[in-house]
Amino acid sequence: MRNFTGTLKAAFEYIDQELGHSSDLSFRQCQIGSDNTPALIMWVDGLINKQSLNNDIISPLMSGSRSINRVDSDETTINFISHSLITTTEVIQVTSYESLIPLLINGWSVVIIEGIDIMIAANTQGLETRSIDEPASTSVIRGPRDGFVESIDTNISLIRRRVKNKLVRVENHWIGNMSHTKIAMMYIFDRANPDTVSEVRTRLDHIDIDAILESQYIEDLIKDSPSSFFPTVYSTERPDDVAGAILEGRVAIIVDGTPFALVLPCTLFHLLKTTEDLYLSYPIATFIRWIRFIGFFITLLLPASYLGVLTYHPEMVPPQLLSSILSARDGVPFPLLMETLLMELTFEGLREASIRMPKSIGSAISIVGALVIGESAVKAGIISSPSVIIVAGTAIASFTIPSISLSATIRLLRFVMIILASFLGLYGIMIGLFLLGIHLSSIKSVGMPYLAPFAPFRPKEAERALVRVPWFTLRKRQK
């Protein structure tokens, strides 16, 4: 469809109107060639790199266009300009407004020459980006310190530089009727299961949404059981994490505008692993991984079992322990259930408050928390010290879960468990675990059962999930 006629004025007016006389549409008029043909360079302010515009478009046009002769055909002129003068990385010749506008708002600059019905669009994209620094959500002691940034190209490059192989595939999608966000699917051709790849592709293609501002949008839209509390998509801020995942044959989704990349499929055990496991020596990594598994169960069950055991089966508590709990609870006004709930809610509140607090006064929260709850409440006899210990233990355990979304889910389910334990004691907890078990074993992540590799049991993978297998034993497999 050619609807561009080659008149500068008309072109400018049309574009200006399309963008609603937006004030950040900028232009520069100039005259090129031996016969001083008027030309117009247009761009949208802020999306382009001014230096690149100056050096790669404006100055070559000014200085090098002397040799342009209007006697030549339009084609020759345009080809000369776009192939020999403009020095940006990408140049396209455009003949219609419809294809021009998206380029303009993506940070390209357009050169229009009076009388020639072909426009030249040159890539001068230059968004202001944050420099690469350590990811805030996951920090490691040993391991690379770079994290994703908000620019998709940088992010892809961070992964590419780790896996320098021709088999790495990147597929771009543009999603969001309004936002036109660029989304890249990355996987390794030989390793990723073709079914998984095509499944992810179809799911991305089926997304119909206004705008994508963060990868959570995508996560919600493509996850398998949307109503489930459990995350079935892995999100990470670390390029080495994603690189490791695609090497395992999983598929990564990188979204422009956010440092969080998504990885599919993702099972419960993926969420309990960290990249650091791979950087530590294998016995330590295995030990830490086990601590994390235990932390998972403690977070879910500790307060509930405390309540359930004490209110339904106090005979299970060893006599001395029972005696000290009884004496510690002497005179505490709240019933056990209320006390436990109160303390757990206080902890959740403290946690939320400390995230929202500016960093400079963040330490105030911990002082208030420790002093008010830990000291005063116990000393005043309002709260018994065992329940403080229980809450503190649960809190510590919840911090060992590496995935933020899983940790949040478990902390939420913990309250369900507490309620169940208050109705039926340990039997209630069992019922809760059954329901949880049925749910977990019936959901999947892009075709992979959520509890894999334990249910269904796959010995080799289960071994690798439980133990961080040392690299030297994997040498055979790597060949």
Partner 1 sequence: MIKNKISNGQFFFIIFVAIASLTFFSVPSQLVGKVKQDLWFSMVLGTLIDVYVASLLYWLGLKYREQSLIQYTNEIMGFLGRVINVIYLIFFLGAIITSMWIFCDFLSRSFMPETPRIVFSITMTICAGFAAGKGIETIARLSQIIGVLILLTSLILFASALPYVHIGLLFPQFENGFLPSTLGAIYPGSWFGICVIMGMLMPHMKAPKKTLKVKVSAVILGSFIMTLFLLYSIATMGSNMAGQFENPIYILTRISHFIIFERIEVLLLLIFISGSFITISTLFYSVTVGTAQLFKNRTHTIWVYIFGSIIIFSPVFPYSQNSYIVEEYLSHWFPYVALSIEGGLTTLIFLVALIKTSVKNKS
Partner 2 sequence: MVIRYLKCIVAASMIMMISGCWSQINFDQLTVVSAIGLDLDEDQKLQVSLQLVNPTLPVAAGGATQQRRAVAIYTATGHTIHEAIEIIKKQSKKNLFFSQTRAILISEKLAKNGLSNIVDYFWREPNQNFNSWVLISNSTAKDALSRSKELLAVSSDEWKAYLKDKTNNTARGGIELYQFLSRLNQSSYEAAVPGISPFASESKQIIMEIGKLAVFNGDKMSGWLSLDESRIVNWLSRSSKTGVIQVKIKNDEFIDFDLTNIHIKTTAQFKNNQLVMSILMKCDAHIKTSTEALDLASQQVSHTIETKLNQYLNTGIKHTLHKTFDTYQSDAVGFGDVVHRTYPEKWKSIEANWGATLKTIELAVDTDVRLVKSGLLINRSIKKDDKDD
Please report, as ranges, the residues that interact with partner 1 according to CB under 8 A. 312-313, 315-316, 318-319, 424-428, 430-431, 433-435, 437-438, 441-442, 449, 451, 454-457
Task: Determine which residue in the list 217, 234, 312, 347 makes contact with partner 2, applying CB under 8 A.
Answer: 312
Q: Is 323 a binder of partner 2 (CB under 8 A)?
A: yes
Residues 445 and 213: their CA atoms lie apart, in Å, by 23
Task: Give helix 336-356 / helix 404-442 axis angle, nearest 10°.
Answer: 130
Identify which range of 20-28, 66-74, 205-213, 332-340 contacts partner 2 by CB under 8 A: 332-340
Query: What is the closest distance, in whole angstroms, from the C-beta atom of residue 450 to partner 2 in the complex?
Result: 25
Which CB sits closer to partner 2, 58 or 337?
337
Q: Is 375 a binder of partner 2 (CB under 8 A)?
A: no
Residue 111, binding choice from partner 1, partner 2, none, Cβ under 5 to 8 Å by partner class:
none
Task: Determine which residue in the list 330, 380, 472, 475 makes contact with partner 2, applying CB under 8 A.
Answer: 330
Which residues, 395 to 454, sit near partner 2 by CB under 8 A? Answer: 422-425
Residues 61 and 459: their CA atoms lie apart, in Å, by 67
- The C-alpha angle 186, 168, 164, rounded to 5 degrees, equals 125
Identify which range of 19-27, 202-210, 225-233, 318-326 contacts partner 2 by CB under 8 A: 318-326
Task: Determine which residue in the list 226, 335, 437, 456 makes contact with partner 2, applying CB under 8 A.
Answer: 335
Q: Is 382 a binder of partner 2 (CB under 8 A)?
A: no
Residue 441, binding choice from partner 1, partner 2, none, Cβ under 5 to 8 Å by partner class:
partner 1
The type of residue at 171 is E
Q: Quick count: other Cβ atoms within 10 Å of Cβ 215?
A: 23
Residues 346 and 227: their CA atoms lie apart, in Å, by 27
Q: Decide: 181 and 172 in contact? Cβ < 8 Å.
A: no
Largest CA distance in the chain: 105
Residues 97 and 103: their CA atoms lie apart, in Å, by 10
Going by C-alpha positions, the residue among 288, 397, 407, 302 that lies closest to residue 355 is 407
Q: Is 389 a binder of partner 2 (CB under 8 A)?
A: no
Q: Is 328 a binder of partner 2 (CB under 8 A)?
A: yes
DSSP 440-465: HHH-EETTEETTTTTTTT-HHHHHHH
| Conformational region of residue 272, where left means phi above 0, alpha means psi within -120 to 50, and beta covers everything else | alpha
> Strand, helix or coil at 139?
coil
Which CB sits closer to partner 1, 243 or 309?
309
Residue 335, binding choice from partner 2, partner 1, none, Cβ under 5 to 8 Å by partner class:
partner 2
Task: Determine which residue in the list 101, 105, 326, 416 makes contact with partner 2, applying CB under 8 A.
Answer: 326
Residue 455, binding choice from partner 1, partner 2, none, Cβ under 5 to 8 Å by partner class:
partner 1
Q: Decide: 252 and 212 in contact? Cβ < 8 Å.
A: no
DSSP 10-43: HHHHHHHHHTTS-TTEEEEEEEETTTTEEEEEEE
Query: What is the closest distance, in whole angstroms, from the C-beta atom of residue 316 to partner 1 in the complex?
Result: 5
Residue 326, binding choice from partner 2, partner 1, none, Cβ under 5 to 8 Å by partner class:
partner 2
Residues 46 and 59: their CA atoms lie apart, in Å, by 20
Which CB sits closer to partner 2, 289 or 329?
329
Query: What is the closest distance, in whole angstroms, from the C-beta atom of residue 225 to partner 2 in the complex?
Result: 19
Which CB sits closer to partner 1, 404 or 455?
455
What are the helix (H) ranges across 374-403?
Answer: 378-379, 385-400
The DSSP element (H or E) to which 408 belongs, if any, is helix 404-442
Residue 99, binding choice from partner 2, partner 1, none, Cβ under 5 to 8 Å by partner class:
none
Query: What is the closest distance, in whole angstroms, from the C-beta atom of residue 371 to partner 2 in the complex?
Result: 20
Residue 435, binding choice from partner 1, partner 2, none, Cβ under 5 to 8 Å by partner class:
partner 1
Q: Which residues bind partner 2 (CB under 8 A)?
A: 310-312, 314-315, 319-320, 322-324, 326-330, 332, 335-336, 422-425
